[in-house]
Structure 1
């Protein structure tokens, strides 16, 4: 009778962590920046159908990098958990901290389980308060660890390079236009093989941008920024940024912001969040 192959628990956890990190690093980075009136999310995402940033509840947003089907299942489960808690108790009982803890339990359980592969995802959960000091931004990793971030945070792709750029230039309480310009510049910041700067301009059409705006009078504070609004906020960043939008005549009035809609979500396939 052959002996089963033995792998130490330490080596098993290391292999699972390396597997998850490699999958996450293949995705493009997502930047979250706290500005004077809320929280800004920016990602380089040419797809118009697959969103990395979405609304969870009135004042809560969700952003993720990694394998799309996995973090989409987590997002849907979070929306349903928030709706159920708000309906059963009160809308004020739905908090970013509670959702972050629920996600941490789910990701930690999956990572520790030997029966399935770890999720190749990292997640932001953000909630805005009535004042800037009350804003909360949590970063969750593939193994369920939770970090309370302040000012800005980056995940996925070249996160270290982007974070270093932001650390040198971030200013607390900046305007939306300044925060957006900084986030886009950070995403385009890179270095060549010699270590010299090789920055690039990301076309507006390749950006996915959303905000939690505390100045909004509606209960739902989540807003996606359309390309027309991005042109207005970013200003002159090079000729690539001034191509007219498809179906919009030059000189036309910019389109209005719209809320995200999660009403037609398919049923979740991920394990339920406890």
Structure 2
């Protein structure tokens, strides 16, 4: 009778962690920055159809790197969780902290299960508050660990090098144009230290803007508005009319910042 092949639990977990980290590192990075009026999301993503940054609920957004099908399943699950909780209780009961805990449980269970491979994903869940001190940013790793971040965070690709660049230059009172410029500078840095040039067509940009009169604070930055921000100009003020959304979770907004809202 042959002896079963044995691998220690420590070695098995180390191998699973290494597998997940290598898969995540192959993806392009995502940067999240706090600025004076909210939270900025910038991803190197030439695809116009496959989003790395999405809206989850009124004040909550989601960013991810890794395998698209895996983090898209997590995003959909997060929208359903937020929708059900907001409908059953109250919209204010849907928080980034609660959503991050749900994601942590899901990722931790998958990572520790020998029946399936670990997810090759790293997530950021952010919620914009009424003031900068109330903003919440959580980074979740492949094994379900949660890190409470402040100021700036980068995931995927050469995240360590980008994070170092951001930490040295980030300020909480930055304007949107300044924050976007800093994020693009970080994403343009190669692992070997050289700089690239990233154009608007290679970027996916969105904000959680606390100054919006609407209940939904998420907005994608597209087209002319993105080009102007990359040139250092500030966005035009939004209409002051209040168009609060209803009781259900809503799909991500796609329109340009300088166009009228179509909620």
Shared fold (TM-score, shorter chain, > 0.5) = yes
The residue number in structure 2 matching 1:256 is: 258
Matching of residues 93-242 of structure 1 within 5 Å: 93-190=93-190, 192=192, 197-235=193-231
* Structure 1 stretches lacking a partner, 5+ long: 237-253, 262-274
Aligned partners of 2:34 and 2:40 also within 8 Å: yes
CA distance in 2, matches of 1:255, 1:51: 18
Q: What whole-Å deviation, never above 9, does each CA across 1:64-89 have from its counterpart, x for those lacking one?
A: 00000000000000000000000000
Quickly say closer, same or farther: Cα 1:259–1:64, change in 2 above 3 A.
farther
CA distance in 1, matches of 2:4, 2:77: 37
CA distance in 2, matches of 1:257, 1:136: 28
Superposition deviation, residue 172 in structure 1? 1.8
Quickly say closer, same or farther: Cα 1:260–1:28, change in 2 above 3 A.
farther
Runs of 4+ in 1 over 6 A off after TM superposition: 258-261
Matching of residues 44-59 of structure 1 within 5 Å: 44-59=44-59
The residue number in structure 2 matching 1:78 is: 78
The residue number in structure 1 matching 2:41 is: 41
TM-score (norm 2): 0.88
Aligned partners of 1:224 and 1:260 also within 8 Å: no
The 3-state SS of whatever aligns with 1:63 is strand
Superposition deviation, residue 227 in structure 1? 2.4
1:9 is the counterpart of 2:24? no
* Structure 2 stretches lacking a partner, 5+ long: 233-255
TM-score (norm 1): 0.85
Quickly say closer, same or farther: Cα 1:11–1:52, change in 2 above 3 A.
same
Q: What whole-Å deviation, never above 9, does each CA across 1:152-179 have from its counterpart, x for those lacking one?
A: 0000001011111111211121100000
Aligned partners of 1:33 and 1:153 also within 8 Å: yes
The residue number in structure 2 matching 1:272 is: none
Q: What whole-Å deviation, never above 9, does each CA across 1:183-235 have from its counterpart, x for those lacking one?
A: 0011002354xxxx421110111100000000000000000000211111111
The residue number in structure 2 matching 1:244 is: none
The residue number in structure 2 matching 1:246 is: none
Range with bigger deviation, 67-76 or 199-208: 199-208
The 3-state SS of whatever aligns with 2:56 is strand
Alpha-carbon RMSD = 1.8
Aligned partners of 1:42 and 1:184 also within 8 Å: yes
Q: What whole-Å deviation, never above 9, does each CA across 1:30-70 have from its counterpart, x for those lacking one?
A: 00000011000001100000000000000000000000000
